[in-house]
Amino acid sequence: MAQSSDNNSLMAQAAKEALVAAAVSFGLFILYVGIETYQDINNALVWRTRWGLLAVFVVIAAVSRFLVVGFIKPHLDKRKRDKAKAGIPEVSDGKNFFQRNFLKIALIGLLIYPPLSVMLAGTQGSLKYVDNFGIQILIYVMLAWGLNIVVGLAGLLDLGYVAFYAVGAYSYALLSQQFGLSFWVLLPLSGILAAFWGVILGFPVLRLRGDYLAIVTLAFGEIIRLVLINWTAVTKGTFGISGIPKASFFGIWSFDVGAANNFTKAWGLSMSSAYYKIFLFYLILALCMLTAYVTIKLRRMPIGRAWEALREDEIACRSLGINTVTTKLTAFAIGAMIGGFAGAFFATRQGFVSPESFVFLESAVILAIVVLGGMGSLTGIAIAAIVMVGGTELLREMEFLKHVFGPDFTPELYRMLLFGLAMIVVMVFKPRGFVGSREPTAFLKERKAVAGSFTKEGHG
Amino acid sequence: MTPGTNTMNNNDTILKVEHLSMRFGGLMAIDDFSFEARRGNITALIGPNGAGKTTVFNCITGFYKPTMGMITLKQRDGDHYLLERLRDFEITKIAKVSRTFQNIRLFSGLTVLENLLVAQHNALMKASGYTILGLLGMPAYTKASAAAIDKAKYWLDKANLTERADDPAGDLPYGGQRRLEIARAMCTGPELLCLDEPAAGLNPRESAALNTLLHSIRDDGASILLIEHDMSVVMEISDHVVVLEYGQKISDGTPDHVKNDPKVIAAYLGVEDDEVEQIEEQLDEGRI
């Protein structure tokens, strides 16, 4: 009896709140959605009403409020109460097979991804999945892992990371065209050059902290881009550099169509750029694995611990005899080097580089991936990159949305909106990113993850 | 016991501060301050609020560059270092002086064990061939990191934190954080340990545990210089007390000597200068 009266009052409450939500959304949307202005044939501004669309908005607001108050919230409250009653079931030891072997499964999945897409979509059809999804996401994974060393481990907020990506890309583009050096010589060289620029930038900048460091690195990123635009004698300015040579299969087989040792000819395959893309997929996968290996290894070395200590408290570091300048410089240089590798790869994959590819937005996207994934966590960052980059690529595929919203609708223009939405959602529910906890680098008895609430973000 | 002599260990000086002055704009925070700390002693630096104790500390540990004066550190093997000429991290790395802070500065997101390993950064860095040999997995580095963990275990045991070794440092109770900060400073292998108000905010039981830890550090061979407000702690553990007021030294000697120095009483009780003699008389008569 009490139960049903409880339920009735809950439903009444929900209905009341739904009405309020409907009224509020009606007031909010009546001018924005209910009325539309447009230009008629004489270029005069006229308006028309869209009551149908307005009704849809209001109904959505009312129904969702009703559902939240009437069903979702009581359900969540009940679950919370049950949890509190049950004690501390937060940590469950019985991880299932998938959770225990997550990394191995992920790696195997990545390895069989290209052949699988060839099997499912055909040689030519696999291009989209291997190139647009696979390679694109892996480049961002690598960039974000590189930035993770600077931002996530050492706590130095770098808003100009794309500068090192640009240095790597242009190093490969220019040196390969001017001197005809191969990809395998220039890949390490691009990394070294980017690291060199990292150190050059680092020396004057790293005495700054926090906001000041962020602003100066942002300026550095813009300087590099402006130099690329304006130094036309070398970089050809906004035209960019085209015809950048392709990477070869370790010098054994070439992917150039005219070459005698062409890969497809040597293996008797049909002419397709898909094979080159598959090769590039494995190449960037290997580069990513190298980055992950170096990061994991370095974290357990004294230098990696010093980075994390620097993020936690710089003054305490100095009181322990740690030279903070060289420690910050190494973080900057290694982060920059990884950016440089990714840049050289980007140049050889595109065959074309221009300053357009290295705008501030790229830095912001990479930083967003690091923050969303959880600073310092490789797995979290990889997931964030898949969600964010893969998500924007998926938007391009959403052709059916045109039938819903009209032929003028271009879904990929909404990617920034979705980016922002995703960031807000993640920051509300997981303020420390997908993986907020931190794995300790050494332990006496058991390895316990450090909760995100204890770690700091760093102040410069 | 006459002031200035001590029966503990030898009379070898470890730290000599001469004519130290520190000026912030128009404010003379420390004015021609000199004192000596002897090896194997616990030397306490006391004084009312704002007397300049922490400023002296920051000068010794390199966080401030003194306006004037000389700070000499004499190591066990006879090497001398002029601390005012070294950069802050070199004072720990080369001169072997380490410090703690008034407001605890732990790496709260690292575990207790990791805090102690970070403190051994310089030794491990060298053993890992500045990371390169370590990345290649050379046995020298493996051995060094095992040794570092042993050293950390030793200090965990001393600070009574072995049970909490794998917990984040920020999760420790206040007294544990104080002890961990001292243990971390000891992991750098210092000859002189500078403690800035180690007993602040501790309850009597934690305070007693701290005293035991400090005594065992001294018995291990490190000298201690500490700032303290809590007179009971100072009187109980220190061998030598220096009193500072308005940036100047007003008394220097054994705890008993300092306790009965009318200038110190005046400084702490806030008596006018001309009343000092009066108090001295009262002291002689045994009324206070």
Picking from A297, A321, A450, the nearest residue to B121 by CB comes out as A321
Find all residues with CB under 8 Å of A184, minimum gap 6, and list them: A247, A248, A250, A251
Picking from A302, A445, A456, the nearest residue to B166 by CB comes out as A445
Interatomic CA distance for residues A220 and A333, integer angstroms: 15
Strand partners, B15: B37, B73
Question: pLDDT by residue (tens digit) across A395-416?
Answer: 777 777 777 666 777 777 777 7
Instruction: Return the amino acid letter for A445.
Output: K
Are A302 and B125 a contacting pair at CB < 8 A?
yes
Residue A240 has pLDDT above 90, yes or no: no
How many angstroms separate the CA of residue B89 from the nearest CA in chain A? 4
Alpha carbon distances (Å) from B231 to B44, B138, B160:
10, 51, 25
Question: pLDDT by residue (tens digit) across A166-204?
Answer: 999 999 999 988 887 888 888 999 999 999 998 988 888
- Residue B42 main-chain phi, psi, to 5 deg: -105, 110
- Say if A78 falls within a structural domain: yes
pLDDT bracket for residue B280 (50, 70, 90): low
Task: Return the pLDDT at A54.
Answer: 86
Are A318 and B165 a contacting pair at CB < 8 A?
no
Which two tokens mark A421?
């939405």
Stronger pLDDT, B88 or A167, i.e. the higher one: A167
> Helix, strand, or coil here: B97?
strand
Based on the fold, state whether residues A399 and A341 are members of the same structural domain: yes
- Of A217-231, A423-437, B216-230, where does mean pLDDT reach its minimum? A423-437
- CA dihedral (B225, B235, B259, B200) in degrees, to 10, reads 70
Segments forming the whole domain that contains residue A141 = 121-429
Interatomic CA distance for residues A453 and A431, integer angstroms: 9
Interatomic CA distance for residues B46 and B98, integer angstroms: 19
- Say if A110 falls within a structural domain: no
> What number is the ipTM of this complex?
0.83
Task: Return the pLDDT at A192.
Answer: 93
Residue A235 has pLDDT above 80, yes or no: yes
Based on the fold, state whether residues A185 and A307 are members of the same structural domain: yes
Residue A437 has pLDDT above 60, yes or no: yes
Interface test with B, best of A328, A377, A444 (most B CBs within 10 A): A444
Strand partners, B42: B224
Q: Confirm whether B1-96+190-288 and B105-189 share one CATH topology.
A: yes
Residue A164 has pLDDT above 70, yes or no: yes
Stronger pLDDT, B195 or A456, i.e. the higher one: B195
Instruction: Please compute the mean of the pLDDT values over residues B232-236 and round it to a whole number.
Output: 79
Question: pLDDT by residue (tens digit) across A312-364?
Answer: 888 888 888 888 888 989 999 999 999 999 999 999 888 888 898 898 988 98
Picking from B93, B114, B134, the nearest residue to A441 by CB comes out as B114
Residue B86 has pLDDT above 50, yes or no: yes
Task: Return the pLDDT at A259.
Answer: 67
Task: Return the pLDDT at B263.
Answer: 80
Instruction: Please compute the mean of the pLDDT values over residues B196-205 and round it to a whole number.
Output: 84
Which two tokens mark A292?
């992950």
pLDDT bracket for residue A49 (50, 70, 90): confident
Based on the fold, state whether residues A284 and A354 are members of the same structural domain: yes
Interface test with B, best of A320, A445, A450 (most B CBs within 10 A): A320
**Nearest alpha-carbon partner for A427 in A378, A376, A384:** A384
Residue corresponding to tokens 């290894």: A297
Are A443 and B165 a contacting pair at CB < 8 A?
yes
Stronger pLDDT, B1 or A347, i.e. the higher one: A347
Residue B6 has pLDDT above 50, yes or no: no
Instruction: Please compute the mean of the pLDDT values over residues B115-143 and round it to a whole number.
Output: 79
Q: What is the DSSP string of A74-123?
A: HHHHHHHHHHHHH---SS-S---HHHHTHHHHHHHHHHHHHHHHHHHHHH
Within 10 A of B154 (CB to CB), how many other CB atoms are there? 15
Residue B164 has pLDDT above 80, yes or no: yes
Stronger pLDDT, B231 or A192, i.e. the higher one: A192
- Of A85-99, A111-125, A294-308, where does mean pLDDT reach its minimum? A85-99
How many angstroms separate the CA of residue A96 from the nearest CA in chain B? 25
Question: pLDDT by residue (tens digit) across B32-48?
Answer: 888 888 888 888 888 88
Task: Return the pLDDT at B287.
Answer: 56
Based on the fold, state whether residues A136 and A70 are members of the same structural domain: no
CATH number of the structural domain spanning residue A175: 1.10.3470
Picking from B109, B114, B120, the nearest residue to A456 by CB comes out as B109
Question: pLDDT by residue (tens digit) across A281-323?
Answer: 888 999 999 999 989 888 888 898 999 998 888 888 888 888 8
What number of H helices and E strands is found in chain A?
Answer: 20, 4
Interface test with A, best of B114, B132, B181 (most A CBs within 10 A): B114
Mean predicted lDDT score pLDDT of chain A = 82
**Nearest alpha-carbon partner for A17 in A91, A72, A92:** A72
Strand partners, B226: B44, B195
Are A312 and B167 a contacting pair at CB < 8 A?
no
Residue corresponding to tokens 């959505």: A60
Instruction: Please compute the mean of the pLDDT values over residues B209-232 and round it to a whole number.
Output: 84
- Say if A96 falls within a structural domain: no
Task: Return the pLDDT at B8.
Answer: 42
Interatomic CA distance for residues A194 and B17, integer angstroms: 47
Angle (deg, nearest 10), helices A102-127 and A274-299: 160
Task: Return the pLDDT at A143.
Answer: 94
Which two tokens mark A414?
């909404």
How many angstroms separate the CA of residue B167 from the nearest CA in chain A? 7
Residue corresponding to tokens 């750029």: A273
Strands B192-196 and B223-227: parallel
Instruction: Please compute the mean of the pLDDT values over residues A202-210 and round it to a whole number.
Output: 80
Task: Return the pLDDT at A2.
Answer: 52
> Helix, strand, or coil here: A409?
coil
Are B107 and A313 a contacting pair at CB < 8 A?
yes
Instruction: Please compute the mean of the pLDDT values over residues B101-111 and round it to a whole number.
Output: 87
Please say whether the beta carbons of B142 and B127 come within 8 A: no
**What's the CATH superfamily of B1-96+190-288?**
P-loop containing nucleotide triphosphate hydrolases (3.40.50.300)
Residue A91 has pLDDT above 60, yes or no: no
Between A and B, how many residue pairs show a Cβ–Cβ distance under 8 A? Answer: 135
- From chain A, the residues in CB contact with B118 under 8 A are 305-306, 309, 317, 320, 322
Question: pLDDT by residue (tens digit) across A383-394?
Answer: 888 888 888 778
Based on the fold, state whether residues A29 and A142 are members of the same structural domain: no
Task: Return the pLDDT at B5.
Answer: 39
**Nearest alpha-carbon partner for A162 in A140, A177, A184, A183:** A140
The structural domains of chain B, with segments of one domain joined by +, span: 1-96+190-288, 105-189
- CA dihedral (B122, B126, B130, B133) in degrees, to 10, reads -140
**Nearest alpha-carbon partner for B181 in B286, B89, B105:** B105
Please say whether the beta carbons of A261 and A115 come within 8 A: no
Task: Return the pLDDT at A337.
Answer: 93
Picking from B90, B100, B108, the nearest residue to A312 by CB comes out as B108
Based on the fold, state whether residues A190 and A80 are members of the same structural domain: no
Instruction: Please compute the mean of the pLDDT values over residues B224-246 and round it to a whole number.
Output: 83
- Of A159-168, A298-307, B1-10, where does mean pLDDT reach its minimum? B1-10
- From chain B, the residues in CB contact with A323 under 8 A are 89, 93
Based on the fold, state whether residues A215 and A143 are members of the same structural domain: yes
Are A302 and B101 a contacting pair at CB < 8 A?
no
Number of residues that make up chain A? 460
Q: How many structural domains compose chain A?
A: 2
- From chain A, the residues in CB contact with B189 under 8 A are none
Based on the fold, state whether residues A152 and A66 are members of the same structural domain: no
Task: Return the pLDDT at A96.
Answer: 64
Task: Return the pLDDT at A420.
Answer: 80
- Say if A101 falls within a structural domain: no
Please tell me which residue of chain B has the smallest CA distance to A318.
B89
Q: Does domain B105-189 have CATH number 3.40.50.300?
A: yes
- Residue A87 main-chain phi, psi, to 5 deg: 100, -125
Question: pLDDT by residue (tens digit) across B26-84?
Answer: 888 888 888 888 888 888 888 888 888 888 888 888 888 888 888 888 888 878 888 88
Task: Return the pLDDT at A195.
Answer: 93
